[in-house]
Structure 1
Amino acid sequence: MILCPMPRAILVVDDDPHIRQLLVFALRKAGLEAIEAEDGQAALAVVTTHAPDLVILDINMPRMDGLEVCRRLRAAGDLPILFLSSRDDEIDRVLGIELGADDYVVKPFSPREVVARVMAILRRTAARAPAVERATAPLRYGKLSLDHESWRAEWAGMQVELTVTEFGILNMLAAMPSKVFSRDAIIDRLHGPGFAITDRTVDSHVRNLRAKFGRIGGTDVIETRAGIGYRLGSCAGDDG
Structure 2
Amino acid sequence: MAKTPTGKNTSGRGQRDLKVKVKSARGRKLSSTLWLQRQLNDPYVKRAQAEGYRGRAAYKIMELDDKYRFLVPGARIVDLGCAPGGWAQVAVKRINALGEKQGKAVGRIIGVDLQEVEPLAGAEFHQLDFMDDGADDQVKEWLGGRADVVMSDMAAASSGHKQTDHMRIISLCETAAYFAFDVLEEGGTFVAKVLAGGAEGELQKLLKQKFTKVTNMKPPSSRSDSSEKFVVATGFRG
TM-score (norm 1): 0.33
State the TM-score, normalizing by the size of structure 2: 0.33
Which structure has the bigger radius of gyration?
A: 2
